[in-house]
Structure 1
Amino acid sequence: MSNAHLPKDPIETPSPVSGEPLATGSQSLLNALLSRIGLRSPSLREMLEADLKGEAEADAAAFSTEEREMLRRLLRFGGLRVEDIMVPRADIIALEESDTLAELLRTFGEAGVSRIPLFSETLDDPRGMIHVKDLFRWLTREAADDSVNTRIAVAPADGDVSGDDTGAEPSHLDFGRVDLSRPITSAKIRRPVLYVPPSMPATNLLIRMQSTRIHMALVVDEYGGTDGLVTIEDLVEQIVGDIEDEHDVAEAAYIVTEPKIGLVASARTPIKQLEEHLGVKLLKPEEEEDIDTLGGLMFSLLGRVPVRGELVRHPSGLELEVLDADARRLKKVKIHQPRVAETPAADAAKA
């Protein structure tokens, strides 16, 4: 009997979650039937959210604590906009294009950043950015003494240490001959930046940065004014958490009472230490594995990094005011404790 008119077996493709084969034809039919009766199959996002909340029927320990936190951040990232992540205008470290190269070098050293935006007169007239790598290439080129018959040694590609080493003498650099009093523009090392609206989805900006290979964006409002700044590091840290390199100085945890301010704590203060100091329970049992510090608690309450001056309210009645922060991390927090309600016993004592 001919099988020319028999239906073909559905093509099996790997499931996006488990990697097991999934009959696409059967799955499509099931989805169609579910939609006909007003139901639908859960999306991958919904399944992940259910598992992270411990509502899935499968083993709740499918992810480690670190994996669960990264997945939570990834799901939150999909709902973030540029304005939720940007460094606010008041905190932008920038230079005027007429500033000297000495000032540029000094600012890189003090700020510990790799990119500095340039402007003309005000931040509302941006003129690009300077990358620290370009500055040091320029310095090296300017310091090379042409009167000495040497050339700057270049490391062999792909680890190849063989071959002719003629002319590979150590380079002769005289940084004293570099004129750092010249304006920044004279070095001709300016790079472009992206210009994006505050409402742009963070995922779209990340894709655009990857495609253009421009890793700094200025956030511009409807009138052309500069609202803030975002780098690719700011975006990635929303997913993986703080990225600290060898130049980042670790801030010590502390809880102190400052005479003019009140109770102040660093964002790195462990939650257990803060709970003992305040005599207040700050975490639910299911949160204790995922939240370790005051900064982590505030991020969890808001779903993003709070900005300087923002007030975050805790269900216990505490109010947490951000005294110092940047786009990537909290630094210093003022703790407002709720007023203790007077009890009948206290009223009787006063009488």
Structure 2
Amino acid sequence: MSLFDNLFAPKIKSRNELLSLIKEAAQDGIFDIDGLPFIDAVLQFGDMRVKDVLLPRHEVDFIDVDATNDEIIKIIQETRHSRFPVVEGNLNEIVGVFHSKDIVNYLIEPDSFKLIDFCRKAFFVPELKPLDSLLYEMRLQQIHLAIVVDEFTNVIGIVTLEMIIEQIIGEIDDEHDLANDEHVVLEISPNVYRIKGFCSLEQLREKVGITWRDDNVETIGGYIIKKLGKIPVIAEQITVNGVLIEILHADSKKINSVIIRL
């Protein structure tokens, strides 16, 4: 079972349980930390509310229910998001959530494709909901995007599962990357490596023995993205050239770190 399977399993119901699991991950070497800064970050996460991490309304990319198929495809291509709120006129009138992967239905039957037919039910959460509680609920219900509303039920933004995870892992990676550049490749157990996305293919060959070559990319992150044709999401497990890879941290532009199992 992966780190993410343990960390976000439905049985985790309290901050103490979450903290305990992350401490174990730190002790196993999955995180390059000295202890206290990491613990502080987790404790701060436990005190956070949804409003502290949401993407504000004016930055939300959405699709109008009456958008043409060409407009839908253009939005997907330009933003590269996996999910979009679907609205009727404005963000206070959300009719559902559209998954980008469902655009394949348009490619199969373009004449009969209707956006509304492929909308999933939207998941609404209050802005003052504790973030750790939302994490548990989203994981339990397998929800990746939530619509955030204020006390008057006005939509004020969205929050995604990836955004919540970044509060635990992403900020910690950022905090320690500069101080630990010498740990670009870290063997955390036999044949299991934590590798930063900017690790060069030459370093990968020297330290791990993986001989990936490409004249157009220099880093492991770039190599994985080129092979997949997309930027994978946090916790995604993939196989590249027969090597099992788990995405530890990524954002909309790059892969920051991965776990490789040989």
TM-score (ref. length: structure 1): 0.40
- Report what 1:94 is aligned to: 62
- How far did 1:193 drift? 2.0
- Give 5+ residue unaligned stretches, structure 2: 1-15, 180-249, 254-262
Give secondary structure in 1 for the equivalent of 2:127. coil
Relative distance call for 1:103 and 1:87 in structure 2 (3 A) is: same
Partner of 1:139: 106
- On the 8 A contact 1:73/1:240 being kept in 2, the answer is no
Structural mapping, 1:104-183, within 5 Å = 104-136=72-104, 138-142=105-109, 178-179=110-111
Residue 184 (structure 1) aligned with residue 152 (structure 2): no
Instruction: Percent identity, please.
Output: 29
**Deviation at residue 242 of structure 1 after TM alignment:** 6.6
Superposition deviation, residue 211 in structure 1: 1.7
Q: Is the 8 A contact 1:100 1:183 kept in 2?
A: no
Counterpart for residue 28 of structure 1: none
CA RMSD of aligned residues (A): 3.6
Cα displacement (A) at 1:121? 1.2
**Distance (Å, rounded) in 1 between the aligned partners of 2:70 and 2:121:** 22
C-alpha distance in structure 2 between counterparts of 1:79 and 1:113, whole Å: 28
Q: Is the 8 A contact 1:99 1:183 kept in 2?
A: no
1:90 Cα offset (Å): 0.6
Using the alignment, how far apart are the partners of 1:99 and 1:79 within structure 2?
40
Residue identity in the other structure for 2:115: I
Radius of gyration: which is bigger? 1
Distance in 2 (alpha carbons) for counterparts of 1:117 and 1:62: 39
Q: CA deviation at 1:89?
A: 0.5
Asked if 1:212 is matched to 2:141, the reply is yes
After superposition, residues 1-351 of structure 1 pair within 5 angstroms as 65-66=32-33, 68=35, 70-136=38-104, 138-142=105-109, 178-179=110-111, 184-185=115-116, 188-241=117-170, 290=176, 292=178
TM-aligned CA deviation for residue 221 of structure 1? 1.1
Gaps of 5+ in 1: 1-43, 53-60, 143-177, 244-267, 269-288, 294-327, 332-351
Q: Which runs of 4+ in 1 moved over 3 A?
A: 61-72, 289-293
SS at match of 2:147: strand
In 1, the alpha carbon distance for the partners of 2:148 and 2:81 equals 18
Measured after TM superposition, the shift of residue 72 of structure 1 is 3.5
Partner letter of residue 107 of structure 1? I
Distance change >3 Å, CA 112–CA 242, structure 1 → 2: farther
Counterpart AA for 2:169: V
Partner of 2:225: none
TM-score, with structure 2 as normaliser: 0.52
Tell me by how many angstroms 1:184 deviates: 2.2
Partner Cα distance (1:291, 1:212) in 2: 33
For residues 82-134 of structure 1, the C-alpha deviation after alignment (integer angstroms, 9 at most, x for no partner) is 00010000100011111112211111110011001111111111111111122
Structure 2 distance, partners of 1:130, 1:67, is 42
Q: Higher strand share goes to which structure?
A: 2
Q: CA offset at residue 220 of structure 1?
A: 0.7
Q: Is the 8 A contact 1:196 1:217 kept in 2?
A: yes
Q: Structure 1 counterpart of 2:91, which letter?
A: L
Higher relative contact order (CA 8 A, sep 6+): 2
Deviations 1:181-228 (A, max 9, x none): x6522xx11111211111000011111111222211111112121011
Q: Give 1 or 2: higher helix fraction.
A: 2
AA of the residue aligned to 1:92: V
Instruction: Find the aligned partners of 2:55 and 2:94 in 1 and give their Cα distance.
Output: 16
Shift of 1:135: 1.9
CA drift at 1:66: 3.4
